[in-house]
Homo-oligomer: A and B are copies of this chain.
Amino acid sequence: MNELNIGLIGAGFIGRIHSIAFQMVKGFFAEKTKNVSFKILAEDNEEAARSGAAHLGFDEWTSNYRELLERKDIQLVVIAVPNNKHKQIVLEAIDHGKHILCEKPLALSASDAKEMYDAAQKAGIKHGIGFNYRKVQAILLIKRWVDQGLFGDMVSYRSSFMQDWGLDVSGPLSWRFQKKIAGSGSLGDLGSHAIDMARFLIGEVSAVIGTASTHIKKRPISAGGFGQKHDTGAAKYGKVDVDDVCDMLMEFENGAQGNMVASRLAAGRKNHFEFELYGTKAGVFFDWERPNEVLFSSVDMPNDQSGFNRILVGGFQHPYGESLWPIPGMGIGFAEPFAVQLYEIIDAVMNNKKVTPSFYDGWMINRVLDAVESSLKKRAWCKV
């Protein structure tokens, strides 16, 4: 394939990130994506679609995503809409033979996710899912070390994904606070990244148990989303029916164990995704707020130098060093992992390669999320 046109469905917070990431793809991978275009945007409301197109730099737009799906010149669709709409759009896109990059979590349930995965496999399309943190250079480096056996046998995993914007009681009751749209709260929104990371680096989760709570039980019904100013005089309030905070334990098939906490009520934490991973030979620590650093420790270090080595990622010695920044410490930001993710599915479509993470991984994560939800209800360990 020499030419590739992409359609984006969703002009919100995440949709904009994909449109920025696409520009970065054109910057970092210019030669390989010469004939690739972000062609058309779909967003539900006509006014939102028009202004979104202008804001995100699209020439074409539609207020009906089906119009986009029917376009013969569109080969790849990026789906960045609220969670409850993933399934419908994905299945239709598959029907139209589109390749798909879908935001996470893939679906509201594992059974839905499986249906989507099966359909995609049957249709033979390329399918990817937006677990963007997997594409952070630092984490690709950790994964390389895992594959090289530097960690020995896996022992334990500790992770947290914390933010604090939920503490603002005047923040609107967005779709992220509504179970029927989001599926869950901090668990699916944030925790799913930490769980995906665990699967990526350690292996399959076998059993889970969680505890969750909602501390701010109602929020104003008003407009506004992430990072926007909001009016504070809302007269009407709606009920929050998802978790503000979720803690969970994980057991892995290979005998490792771990924990995770996701929270939107962690004062001082902005986009704080951190994890540490220990094997019998080495340990590693990562924190997205310092995205270019890996802390690495090995039992093979000289006795008087045992410590956590802070490695700055970048340069040809590290994953994607040839394409991204050539010097460690120049530093990537939020867009680069999205750009790598988008580039990989473009490359997969154009050159018939395998995409990872795929809907399979999305399905696996939905299985874990279902098990956690189940454990909350039953107050018992649940098998995945």
**Which residues of A pack against B, CB within 8 Å?**
13, 19-24, 26-28, 30-31, 34, 54-57, 141, 153, 155-156, 158, 160, 162-165, 167-168, 209-213, 215-216, 226-229, 244-245, 247-249, 251, 255, 257-259, 261, 263, 265-272, 276, 278-283, 285, 288-293, 295-299, 301, 303-312, 314-318, 321, 325-336, 379-381
Contact = CB atoms under 8 A, between A and B. Distances in A.
A271 B315 contact: no
Given A212-B257, A289-B293, 15 more contacts: A24-B335, A30-B54, A155-B244, A156-B266, A164-B299, A211-B251, A215-B280, A258-B261, A267-B282, A268-B295, A269-B283, A271-B312, A307-B310, A310-B310, A332-B333
B263 A267 contact: no
A232 to B, nearest CB: 13
How many copies the complex holds: the figure is 4
A310 to B, nearest CB: 5
Main SS of chain A's interface residues? mixed
A168 B209 CA distance: 31
Nearest to A167: B299
Contact of A312 (B21, B289, B293, B318): B289
Nearest to A327: B227
A308 B249 contact: no
A280 B31 CA distance: 39
A278 B267 contact: yes
A331 B271 contact: yes
A40 B293 CA distance: 36
A331 B333 contact: yes
Given A55-B31, A249-B209, A326 B227 contact: yes
A351 to B, nearest CB: 18
Contact of A247 (B13, B258, B296): B258
Most buried by B among A155, A261, A298: A155
Contacts of A153: 215
Contacts of A280: 167, 215-216, 265
Contacts of A293: 289
Given A155-B263, A249-B247, A257-B213, A334 B334 contact: no
Contact of A209 (B24, B209, B263): B209
Contacts of A307: 268, 296, 309-312
A307 B268 CA distance: 5
A329 B215 contact: no
A329 B309 CA distance: 16
Nearest to A23: B27
Contact of A268 (B56, B258, B297): B297
A346 to B, nearest CB: 14
Given A24-B20, A27-B23, A213-B257, A331 B288 contact: yes
A261 to B, nearest CB: 5
A326 B13 contact: yes
A334 B325 contact: yes
Which of A209, A272, A279 gathers most chain B CB within 10 Å?
Answer: A209
B331 A247 contact: no
A34 B23 CA distance: 13
B57 A155 contact: no
Contacts of A263: 155-156, 278
Given A227-B315, A257-B247, A28 B20 contact: yes
